[in-house]
């Protein structure tokens, strides 16, 4: 009987696709202002590939490989890569809109450089986009704890195995939540920067250079006109030049 207790629990990886929800099948009223479907599809595909790798390892009874394939580290790497790609795409789209608005008003290049996103602004946008992953990280922490328990589980520890399977499904559901939060933040970034881009579209060249140049020139021309008209005496150097 004691030998039976020590038999490791065979690991069975649940199907993750049903828990991915709108990461797998989006349901939107309007499309995002930045194309995201390619990144979303790659995210869903990579998660299902992790599940496939884990199931293949389970068939070979490679317990450590099963747990590693769907570990916290693997899930987090997939999510962070997707969030980083979204951040890069959003910042590139904002910079493109700024350039287009600057081109429409013929803003000089030296001026438009002030409006393009700085490195700190790009990092802030990336941080805001990734903030929705907090619930996913909490679920992955729980998955890590469940994996540690199932690592040593025997055939009698069915509860530990069921808990680990549920932790995997929960991670997939929290990934859906994190993705939807990311999409919502992408929309918010569009609204946040719309005012800045509209302001660029209303930009006009400053008038002070024209005033600085034309005011003295106009005064000189007026004075010269008065001199030529005989209303103002001409200075000696000008009278000699003009033959007065």
β-sheet bridge partners, residue 154: 8
How much is the pLDDT for 216? 75
- In whole angstroms, how far apart are CA 94 and each of 6, 30, 71, 100, 106? 59, 19, 35, 10, 18
**Rounded distance, CA 216 to CA 220, Å?**
6
**Rounded distance, CA 38 to CA 192, Å?**
24
Whole-structure pTM value: 0.80
Tokens found for residue 29: 């009223």
What number of residues does the chain have? 244
Q: How does residue 73 score in pLDDT terms, banded at 50, 70 and 90?
A: very high
Element (H, E) at 186: helix 158-201
By percentage, how much of the chain surpasses pLDDT 70?
89
How much is the pLDDT for 211? 60
**pLDDT tens per residue across span 125-155:** 999 999 989 999 999 999 999 999 988 877 7
Higher pLDDT, residue 15 or 29: 15
- In whole angstroms, how far apart are CA 215 and each of 204, 209, 228? 20, 10, 20
Q: What is the mean pLDDT of the chain?
A: 87
**pLDDT tens per residue across span 170-186:** 999 999 999 999 999 99
**pLDDT tens per residue across span 55-65:** 999 999 899 99
DSSP notation for 29-43 = SS--SS--HHHHHHH
List the single range of 81-85, 121-125, 155-159, 240-244 with lowest mean pLDDT: 240-244
Task: Sketch the domain layout of the chain as residue ranges.
Answer: 2-205, 206-244
**Rounded distance, CA 168 to CA 12, Å?**
11
**Rounded distance, CA 57 to CA 227, Å?**
100
Q: Is it the case that residue 229 has pLDDT exceeding 80?
A: no
DSSP state letter for 8:
B
Neighbours of 72 (CB within 10 A): 19
Q: Which phi and psi (to 5°) does residue 8 adopt? A: -60, 145
Element (H, E) at 213: helix 208-228
**Rounded distance, CA 201 to CA 190, Å?**
16
How many DSSP H helices and E strands does the chain contain? 11, 0
């Amino acid at each position: 009987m004691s030998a039976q207790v020590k038999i490791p629990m065979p690991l069975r990886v649940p199907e993750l696709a049903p828990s991915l929800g709108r990461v797998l099948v989006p349901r939107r009223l309007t499309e995002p202002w930045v194309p995201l479907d390619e990144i979303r599809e790659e995210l869903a595909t990579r998660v299902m590939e992790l599940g496939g790798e884990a199931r293949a390892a389970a068939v070979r009874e490679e317990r450590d490989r099963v747990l590693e394939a769907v570990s916290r580290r693997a899930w987090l790497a997939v999510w962070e890569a997707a969030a980083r790609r979204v951040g890069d795409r959003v910042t590139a789209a904002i910079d493109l809109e700024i350039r287009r608005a600057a081109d429409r008003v013929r803003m000089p290049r030296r001026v438009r450089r002030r409006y393009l996103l700085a490195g700190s602004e790009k990092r802030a946008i990336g941080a805001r986009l990734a903030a929705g992953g907090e619930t996913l990280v909490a679920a992955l922490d729980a998955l890590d704890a469940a994996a540690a328990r199932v690592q040593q589980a025997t055939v009698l520890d069915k509860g530990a195995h069921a808990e680990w399977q549920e932790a995997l499904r929960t991670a997939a559901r929290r990934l859906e939540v994190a993705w939807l939060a990311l999409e919502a933040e992408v929309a918010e970034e569009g609204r946040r920067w719309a005012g800045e881009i509209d302001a660029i579209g209303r930009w006009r060249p400053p008038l002070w250079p024209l005033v600085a140049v034309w005011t003295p020139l106009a005064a000189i021309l007026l004075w010269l006109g008065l001199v030529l008209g005989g209303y103002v005496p001409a200075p000696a150097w000008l009278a000699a030049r003009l033959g007065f």
